Structure 1
């Protein structure tokens, strides 16, 4: 006697019948018996093999049946066969401290079949990687994506004196160079983060996309009225490569997001305020919104990391000092960039305008320093130490 009946008609297991079998068995308790009927020529052979693979048992029809089925499937436990030793990869909303390597690429909460590859992700410790704000920041970032082709008023009419346009080109060249470094840093860590922390991976992936867009709009603005970019200094490149070379996630995040991109938020606000044309103003504003989000994640992540690792601040301090010592003999900020900022902030070449622009750039440097101090203090550095450390930050801003 069977508990249920399934007629597959002419459908074979090589044509999708396994879906109907699983559906029918899913309504039965372990040990229940399902009579399977069908006309597919190889159904009996395939059914036996399928049962063995799925952890069920197949019986021959009882003799003397008026209408014998192809076979009777006795439902097994889900822990049999293929799913023996299977386990859940946590719960969908539970961020575990140390996800095991055997979870691999399985999403949180998935039922993971035993066996298979166990890839190594060296960034696999929640306390050294996670930030509670990450899911919310990712949602914000995904909703705020913009298209460089339509978000900037490229066709707005404006005309600038040649020297003003040259200053804009120089600043845009400098921004593009720095954003290339800002793209490389998070990109290098994406493949090292355990997929269990998917919101962090997603957020960094969006950050990489942000930087790619910034590079596009800065380059496009630089070439909007001409065919040549500005200059790239040895000191500027040395500063950026000292940043790109950092291999530890926490230290790279600190140097890039907390210090460098934090200072860049000030710079972009400065450029938006003193932009001589609507395209430059819009480009600066768009990039500034993204950079603020990058800084917010960097600070939030390091705050949580510092609570889990009390000695983190010592390592952050050492990273700043190492970078400062490595750049001690470099010129720092490209002089062409400094002069271009002075000219843009002053608005002209009269002594009064240049003096005003120079004072505004010095105020920018002061604002950058104050912002760095605030972020350092938020990470737990005493005010006097935050002041001293901020002074060590590269003169290249990033």
Structure 2
């Protein structure tokens, strides 16, 4: 008969999980107290002794008076001391976010009991206000629910072949879009790797944003190669403009230049392509991409509004970034001439003087709409109207 305070493992050995039962039974045993262990496994005492040594307990051989007991475990303090300095990593919900989580929390789940110590981590964006926006959780939920499959959402066989010069224009525009979407993928991906995982909603949103851009790259490339074997041209000035975005290290400045100014302008461009698409496939891919880009812009604006409300100096830094980028690109050619001409052709719809003139006017109107949109977003961030106009005018001629 086994007395109280004795754990009977029956035939269960340590190679099959017996330690879990011992561990559970020790929870009710104070440090220095004893737990009797018995069972039918021939190697029980050997395995129990090895496990206890690793856990900081001691095993005492049972005496003749310890009826039915094969070994006695004397509980140590090591398992208690291990969690003595442990803290909760905030709470699992948004209300549990800590403003500045310690580096040694590392990849611990938010809300977990974190053992003290551990290595420092490489995340250098560690303050909530540097990355946060109140709408981040809702935007992530919307983004996750709005993912779309290019194979089913785009009817790739819709429409008739276009005239060669029109198809060439589509290919050129799609090539330009691919380049810009590659940049729009790299920037959030680089920032994502620097954000402390405690701010997981922002990480999740950036990850979905990168996935959106990867999908846009796919559909724009597929549309470009739908009836052609080669892509269009890539200008040096275009790549110089995009390189500046990739090189920006400051999270808020990068979000500002990419999402508020660049992708904000791209909303107008994608709307222009939707309205002037010469075929159903071009219309579908630009319309689907615009829906995603609107979320990216919304996060950028909300994040910067959150920061500006807490630190008025943010607007000065943003203005300096625009001016710095303008000076770096002032001697470049701006928008690829092939892209500009392709947009004119798509808006013209015909090869006649009046039509080409109409197409040219439409592209100039597009640039004005981009400017007005940038100014509205800048005013929304707290810039005075005249300053917003000045900053918008300094934005790169390459749109992004």
* Fold shared, TM-score > 0.5 on shorter chain: yes
The secondary structure found in structure 2 opposite 1:35 is: strand
Partner residue in 2 for 1:223: 225
Aligned counterpart for 2:147 among listed residues 145, 148, 151: 145
Deviation by residue 1:320-340 (Cα, 9 ceiling, x = unmatched):
001111111111111111111
Match of 1:6 in 2: 7
- Supply the distance in 1 between the matched residues of 2:289 and 2:239 (Cα, whole angstroms): 21
Matches within 5 A, 1:14-33: 14-26=15-27, 28=28, 30=30
* Aligned residue pairs, count: 396
CA apart distance, 1:271: 0.7
Deviates more, 1:156-165 or 1:288-297: 156-165
| Partner residue in 2 for 1:132 | 134
2:271 corresponding residue in structure 1: 269
**Structure 1: how far apart are the matches of 2:308 and 2:52?**
53
Change (3 A) 1:167 1:136: same
Q: Who is 1:85 aligned against?
A: 85
| CA distance in 1 between partners of 2:120 and 2:206 (Å) | 23
Q: Is the 8 A contact 1:3 1:33 kept in 2?
A: no
Deviation at 1:360, TM superposition (A): 1.7
Q: What SS does the corresponding residue of 1:36 show, helix, strand or coil?
A: strand
Report deviation, 1:396.
0.6
Aligned equivalents of 1:57, 1:377: Cα separation in 2: 69
Root mean square deviation of aligned Cα: 2.1
Distance 1:12 1:125, change over 3 A: same
Alignment of 1:1-398 (within 5 A): 3-26=4-27, 28=28, 30=30, 34-54=35-55, 58=59, 60-61=61-62, 63-66=64-67, 68-73=68-73, 80-93=80-93, 94-398=96-400
Q: 2:346 and 2:249 mapped to 1: Cα distance?
A: 37
C-alpha distance in 2 between matches for 1:24 and 1:246: 56
CA contact (8 A) 2:237 2:332 kept: yes
Distance 2:3 2:127 in 1: 51
Determine if contact 2:276/2:346 at 8 Å carries over to the other structure. yes
| Structure-1-length-normalised TM-score | 0.93
Decide which moves more: 364-373 or 113-122.
113-122
Cα pair distance change 1:161/1:384, threshold 3 Å: same
How far 1:289 sits from its partner (Å)?
1.0
User: Shift in Å at residue 52 of structure 1?
Assistant: 4.8
1:308-361, CA deviations, whole angstroms, 9 ceiling, x for partnerless residues? 322111110000001111111111111111111111112111222222222221
Gapped regions of structure 1 (runs ≥ 5): none
Looking at structure 1, the residues matched to 9 and 171 of structure 2 have their Cα atoms a distance apart, in angstroms, of 71
- Between the aligned partners of 2:3 and 2:288, the Cα distance in structure 1 is 68
Partners of 2:275 and 2:385 in 1: CA distance = 30
Q: Distance in 2 between matches of 1:115 and 1:60?
A: 35
How much has 1:213 moved relative to structure 2?
0.9
Q: How far apart are 1:230 and its partner, in Å?
A: 1.0
